[in-house]
Structure 1
Amino acid sequence: MPTVYSLLPPDLPQKFHTVGRLDAKTTGLLLITDDVGLVTYGTSGAVEKIYRATAMGALNATQFDTLREGVDLKGGLGNSDPCDVKMIKSERHNTVLEITLMQGKNRQIRRMLHEIGSGVLKLERTEIGGFRIDDLDLGEGDIKAVDEVELDLMIGYKANVKTR
């Protein structure tokens, strides 16, 4: 199975790491860096991540409240933190949600929806901090380099830049 690393140019000299992760069935925005400090910062709960999820079934108010308040994620992961959940569209067989998380536990949104009796039909990370996938004009597999100023502006991260 191909990974995001297979999309990087082969001649890059550094070792790169993802800031967080996306499972094989999730699409969307992913930050890749050679700055270990950024990896730590981005996964510490300091950066907001927004997802668009298509959930199975028409969700009711109780299910929305449960998602917002936090659920037991099972598997020793504890509870999800309270989060913002907005309904984008509801139809008979599915509900499109926007879910904003500060934490990022393994398969968190999939586990949250499972705990309220639903499931995920489609999941996309649309934002990380101020980086919005719709504003970046990127296609699937495209890469955009960002500098320290942009990282500070978009996610509040100040790189440890060495000066002479």
Structure 2
Amino acid sequence: MNRRTLLLGGCALASLAACGDSGKFITYDGPVVTQIQVFKTNRMMYLLHGDEVLKKYKIGLGGDPIGPKQFEGDGKTPEGLYYINRRNPNSAYYLSIGISYPNPQQVAYAQSQGKQAGGDIFIHGRDGKNKGLGRDWTAGCIAVKDKEIREIYAMVQDGTPIFIFP
């Protein structure tokens, strides 16, 4: 009886483990991503190794995507050269990797206008949120599908340059 209980308990635990999101973190052993290019007008993001496109993704942007981000709460996605500078495995949007916005000049400009430059700009997933709300729904971030952010999270290292074009 003890063996039977142990066996049933083990099967139950194995079943529960299979229900979890064991695929949230994947590994990548391909070419190094040397840069990310984002084209806001086309709503496309490219991961490159040198001049070779490794992956491309359709993206969602800030709720007001035209023009560069200047102030906290303006709903815009930044434009310019930044770097991937952090990761959040517990993101409210599944997984996320941080973009180094704002730079010192952007902070100084916002302050000169009596405002804050904002921050917390990420490439992130959706985690079931905001589906059906249109393509541009973030507060200034770059959104992709959850399965795509798994790839990006595995492929892109901290320090990778990201060029965000109008």
Query: What range is the shorter-chain TM-score in?
Result: under 0.3
Structure 2 length as normaliser, TM-score?
A: 0.27
Structure 1 length as normaliser, TM-score?
A: 0.27
Look at both structures and tell me which one has the larger radius of gyration over its CA atoms. 2
